Amino acid sequence: KITTNYNQNEDNINVVVRVRPLSKKEMQRGDTQIVDFPGNGQIMVGDYWGNVHLLGSPIWFQVDHCARTGSDSHKPKRFSYNVVFEPGATQEDVLQFSGMKRLISMAIEGFRCTCFCYGQTGSGKTHTLTGPPGLIGTRTVPYSENHGLIFRSFQYLFQQIQLQSDTHFVLKASYLEIYNEKVIDLLNSGSLRKPLAVRWSKKACGFFVENLFTVDCEELDDLIAVLEEGLRNRSIGRHNMNDYSSRSHTILTVHISSELPAENGVFISRTGKINFVDLAGSEMTKKTQSQGKMLEEANNINKSLMVLGYCIATLSDPKKRSSHIPYRDSKLTKLLADSLAGNGATLMIACISPAKSNACETVNTLRYAARAK
């Protein structure tokens, strides 16, 4: 069900792939599953097939026919991922085996961490992060197998914090949306739709959103309330919710500060954070590229996604890692810069559909994800 292949302690950008099940709608219209796992760790995507080597060597795809996606290359490609979640994998599997728990532990220790979901609209990004829409109001429901990664991470975070009883923790959370390069606060409904500025400061150790509402969270319920409030505000007043959410990114951030008493009345203080990012649909990247539009137009549709891909690909290439990384080219990458580089850690969850009708986007997502490894 899950194939792993990683040394997560060494990499600061980890990539996992999650394949959602074929939906009822897809089955009804006669769509078929073309992403397959024929055992032995193999992955097949239609004409694209590949072997997954268990533990130790990378998972790879060999592309033996590219005409269908209009790709320029007919050479075999090596794609490598850390973990592959097959359609039967549960929400809890994703928490347990994606490397998310390590990210949370790192954030507690003072690192800046990001978990983001990438993939075409309908591939399961929001499902993976927050679960199905009906789960808003979950505070009254103690447990559902549908609870997403954010909810589960919050629970795990509090469990970990409670284990460190001699350390004093302060948690704060914020939730924002980036739509068309405008940053909108999802927690302060008074300022809803009034864009906020992204600035850089030495004190903040990087980029930050000016006047962003930050909520003190003493208990697990407070964090969950932040998630619910953001989800609620995200869905208010949107004529075409699907269209809107497929074109916007949301970032839920938990800031974790701690003080541990050391010798002679001295305290060791640490400040880490963790971002949960639900990205815009990846089909947007293709649209801007395939229509030959240049950066200004990509700016209107979804520049951030392209810049993020470029930053990650550059960071993942040991030869280019020390060269210029264009974080400043989009709001999204500005806000994620500290966790992408430096001492941070990033988990990318590439979400794909198993359906034949989505084959091209699926291969594009696998390529994008492989570039990040």
Query: Helix 359-371 and helix 303-316: axis angle, to 10°?
Result: 50
The only residue of 14, 126, 153, 250 in contact with Mg ion, by rule CB under 5 A: 126
CB of 340 to ligand ADP, least distance (A): 21
**Which of 123, 250, 302, 330 is the binder for ligand ADP (CB under 6 A)?**
123
Query: Residues with Cβ < 8 Å from 216, sequence gap 6 or more?
Result: 170, 171, 172, 222
Which one of the spans 46-54, 124-132, 205-213, 331-339 is the region binding ligand ADP (CB under 6 A)?
124-132
Helical ranges in 248-358 per DSSP H: 283-290, 295-301, 303-316, 331-340
250 touches Mg ion (CB under 5 A): no
Q: By C-beta, is 126 or 174 nearer to Mg ion?
A: 126
x/- map, 62-101, ligand ADP, by CB under 6 A: ----------------------------------------
Residue 113 has, within 13 A of its CA and on its CB side, a CA count of: 27
Contacting range for ligand ADP; rule: CB under 6 A; set: 115-123, 207-215, 232-240, 331-339: 115-123
Closer residue to ligand ADP in complex, CB, 64/243: 243
Token pair 């060597």 in the structure block, residue? 57
* Binding residues for ligand ADP restricted to 130-169, rule: CB under 6 A: 132
> In the complex with Mg ion, which residue's Cβ is closer, 76 or 134?
134
Residue nearest to ligand ADP (CB): 124
- Which residue(s) pair with 248 in the sheet? 179
Token digits of residue 124: 């399961």
Q: Taking CB under 6 A as the rule, does residue 127 contact ligand ADP?
A: yes
* Contact with ligand ADP (CB under 6 A) among 23, 51, 155, 160: 23
Q: Which stretch binds ligand ADP (CB under 6 A): 2-10, 19-27, 42-50, 204-212?
A: 19-27
Q: Is 363 helix (H, G, I), strand (E, B) or coil?
A: helix
Binding partner of residue 119 among Mg ion, ligand ADP, none, CB cut-off 5 to 8 Å per kind: ligand ADP
Q: Which of residues 312-351 bind ligand ADP (CB under 6 A)?
A: 351
Give the strand pairing for 168-179 and 248-261.
antiparallel
User: Which among 161, 20, 85 is positioned nearest to 153, based on CA atoms?
Assistant: 161
Nearer to ligand ADP, 90 or 164 (CB): 90
Phi-psi map region of 264: left, alpha, beta (phi>0 left; psi -120 to 50 alpha): left
**Closer to Mg ion by Cβ: residue 119 or 354:** 119
Cα dihedral 112/301/72/45 (nearest 10): 70
Q: Indicate the residue among 125 and 373 with the shorter CB distance to Mg ion.
A: 125
For 223, counting Cβ atoms within 10 Å of its Cβ (0-12 exposed, 13-18 middle, 19+ buried), the class is: buried
Q: Are 214 and 170 in contact (CB under 8 A)?
A: no
- Rounded Cα–Cα distance for residues 306 and 290 (Å): 13
- Told to check if 33 binds ligand ADP by CB under 6 A, we report no
- HSE at residue 313, side-chain half, CA atoms within 13 A, is 12
Query: Of residues 14, 126, 188, 364, which one binds ligand ADP by CB under 6 A?
Result: 126
CA pair distance 82, 104, nearest whole angstrom: 18
- Alpha-carbon torsion 60, 64, 66, 71, what sign? positive
Instruction: Say how far apart CA 12 and CA 347 lie, in whole Å.
Output: 8
Q: Tell the smallest beta-carbon distance from residue 200 to ligand ADP (Å).
A: 31
Q: Indicate whether 230 belongs to the interface with ligand ADP (CB under 6 A).
A: no
The region of 54-62, 114-122, 192-200, 300-308 touching ligand ADP under the rule CB under 6 A is 114-122
- The binding site for ligand ADP (CB under 6 A) comprises 20-21, 23, 119, 121-127, 132, 351
Residues at the contact surface with Mg ion, assessed by CB under 5 A:
125-126, 245
